[in-house]
Structure 1
Amino acid sequence: MKSLLLSTLALLLAQHATAASDKPLKACTVISPTSERFFDLNPIRKLPPSEDGKKKKEGDEGSWHAKGYDYNANFTINFCGPVVEQLDEVQDLDKGLWGNISAFYERSGKQWAIGLENSEPIFRGRKLILNYTGGSLCPSSKDKRALEPTTLTPREIIDGDDDGDKKKKPSKDTDAKTTRRKTTVISLLCDSDPLAKTSISFVAAVDDCAYFFEGRSPSACGGVHQETQALGPGGVFGVIAMIAVLVYFVGGCVYQRTVMHQRGWRQLPNYSMWAGIWRFFSDVFVILTSSCARFMPSRRGYNRVSLGQDSGRRGRRNEDEDRLIDNLDEEWDD
């Protein structure tokens, strides 16, 4: 019986854990494949100003900033979302994408995007990485595009050439293959100091096309995924109690039917006890209903009105009876 209880409980908990693991994660969260820890970067995401003009608590100072030092430019970055600042001079990027820029730098009054919004952090081994792609054009891409001819002159037709070789057209995919855009890679490290604040620092830039940053934050330390444990202590206790009651009734009925050869309601385990409890509640119900019946209004019947005449008649009858008794006594004496 005990083994059946434990196996049923383990099966229910395993099914619940499987259903919870299949549920998709919300944006800007990830679970480590090595440590199974849950990471949520939403607390360090800067939010834009609210509709009433007041800035929210997480966005009082705008986006995160990193000094470029020898790069001669400072960087503005946000985690898992676009930067809070309004951009107006972004180079080599469609204006419709300016609202999705998550990292950029400014130089000589112009802005260069180094990555568009990405809300899916990933793991490279044990390293928590956030990658932004699709920024402004890299300098090498712009130089190659400038050197490539826009049109090609057809060569002269020579006898014996096929009709398909009369003209040599430029390839349409040449520009797409040589175009490279700025990207950003952010490596997030855990800072377990209770008083620590989130910070980001610039590491390096490869040929003005790939930018590497290092961020430190308590949010990068990870924790337990709360959604995977939907059953609290009370829920687990309720499941155990439900399984225990089920095993008690099912096992008791099987025992009473097969061993004690009982039928009907007597198959229930401890039938006499349950019958006594049922009789007790039945008696209590009868007592309560009878007590409440006293407060019910009684039916109105006919009442005698001529009370005075009845009393007079009764008095006369009594006098006649007394006279008759006296007469009988006198006759008996004689």
Structure 2
Amino acid sequence: MKLAFFSSLVFLLSTPDFSTAAEESKSLKPCTIRSPTTDRFFNLNPIRREPPEEGKKAKEGEEGSWHAKGHDYGANFTINFCGPVVEELTHVVDLSKDYWKNVSAFYERDGEQYAIGLENSEPVFRGRKLVLNYTGGSLCPSKSSLHSHEAPSEDERRKTTVISLLCESDPLAKTSISFVAAVDDCVYFFEGRSPFACGGVEAETQALSPGGVFGVIVLIAVLVYLIGGCVYQRTVMHQRGWRQLPNYAMWAGIGRFVMDMFIILTSSCARFLPSRRGYSRVSLGHENGRRGRRNDDENRLIDNLDEEWDD
């Protein structure tokens, strides 16, 4: 009776949520979901463990994937949410090596690694229960003697993991995961508790940065000022031409000030430009010399005439 109950529960939890859930998941980012009953938004990405960047150490308390004690099962479990485990797998029983990098849950026993589900980043709702389901692990014991190394196929019964995520409302509480039961050494039930399983309001994606938003606001204000001012000047003040601009006198004064400053600056800078003043000075010196000699000749001529007149 107990086995039949668990088998029915496995069927309900592992069955796809038909077209409605599939259509909703297409419009959402991986590892996120919106509740169909409460419309609350759930984002499980913060509890997904990632390997540390090259040359950097993992944050304290976030070394490796999540771990759950197996208690009477005889093995402990390593699990990640919405992604493969951080640990590097060396030998996974009954699973092609190409799939080792996609294992999201596994346990070790007698030196062998057994995958209990491959990566899945699409949580689903079973009624009001938030569930994350991993399938396609190692072969179940009934076919373990085959030791197949081919890719998983639909006619093979492989190990599956079902994680029921519960809301941890305590703001100081941390995410945790615990082992619940295993059916036929084939289906494994876990219970996860996390503040991120409580849901909330979906944050709207902001296309513009704060600086961009401020720039748009300033641009709209300038357009309203110009268009509104022009309409007022034309209809109420009966202005035409450039005088239709709002505060025309002020802008005209600013324009004249800028032109005056430009003229002053250019005239000041012109003094430092190379010119022909040196050549002009030399020419003037020659002219002054000629003029001086001419005056001397005239004075000498006058003196000579005076002497002849005296004689």
Same fold (TM over 0.5): yes
Change (3 A) 1:37 1:238: farther
Q: How far is the alpha carbon of 1:37 from its aligned partner?
A: 4.4
Q: Counterpart in 2 of 1:117? A: 119
Q: Counterpart in 2 of 1:256? A: 233
Letter in 1 for 2:296: G
Change (3 A) 1:196 1:326: farther
SS at match of 1:283: helix
Letter in 2 for 1:138: C
Check whether the contact 1:82–1:100 (CA below 8 A) recurs between aligned residues: yes
Cα separation, 2, equivalents of 1:326 and 1:124: 139
Change (3 A) 1:278 1:120: same
Q: Identity of counterpart residues, as a percentage?
A: 69
1:315 to 253, 278, 296: 296
Q: Counterpart in 2 of 1:155? A: none
Change (3 A) 1:60 1:281: closer
Output one character per residue of 1:78-108: Cα deviation in whole Å (capped at 9) or x when no partner: 2222223444553333333223211122334
Cα separation, 1, equivalents of 2:300 and 2:79: 123
SS at match of 2:161: strand
Cα separation, 2, equivalents of 1:25 and 1:298: 73
Query: Equivalent residues in 2 for 1:294-309 (5 A)?
Result: 294-299=271-276, 300-301=279-280, 303=283, 304-305=285-286
Asked whether 1:82 is paired with 2:84, we answer: yes
Q: Counterpart in 1 of 2:252? A: 275
SS at match of 2:266: helix
Cα separation, 2, equivalents of 1:176 and 1:220: 31
Change (3 A) 1:272 1:308: closer
Moved more, 54-63 or 185-194: 54-63
Cα separation, 1, equivalents of 2:304 and 2:194: 122
Q: How far is the alpha carbon of 1:280 from its aligned partner?
A: 1.5
Larger radius of gyration: 1
Check whether the contact 2:233–2:239 (CA below 8 A) recurs between aligned residues: yes
Cα separation, 2, equivalents of 1:92 and 1:125: 34
Unmatched runs of 5 consecutive residues or more in structure 1: 1-22, 147-174
Cα separation, 1, equivalents of 2:78 and 2:224: 63
Q: Counterpart in 2 of 1:13? A: none
Q: Counterpart in 1 of 2:8? A: none
Asked whether 1:62 is paired with 2:64, we answer: yes
Cα separation, 1, equivalents of 2:57 and 2:179: 27
Unmatched runs of 5 consecutive residues or more in structure 2: 1-25, 147-152
Asked whether 1:209 is paired with 2:189, we answer: no
2:49 to 40, 45, 51: 45
Q: How far is the alpha carbon of 1:246 from its aligned partner?
A: 0.8
Q: TM (normalized to structure 1)?
A: 0.64
Check whether the contact 2:174–2:195 (CA below 8 A) recurs between aligned residues: yes
Cα separation, 2, equivalents of 1:191 and 1:278: 65
SS at match of 1:90: coil
Letter in 2 for 1:102: S
Output one character per residue of 1:139-191: Cα deviation in whole Å (capped at 9) or x when no partner: 4x649x99xxxxxxxxxxxxxxxxxxxxxxxxxxxx956x4322212233454
Q: How far is the alpha carbon of 1:223 from its aligned partner?
A: 6.8
RMSD: 4.2
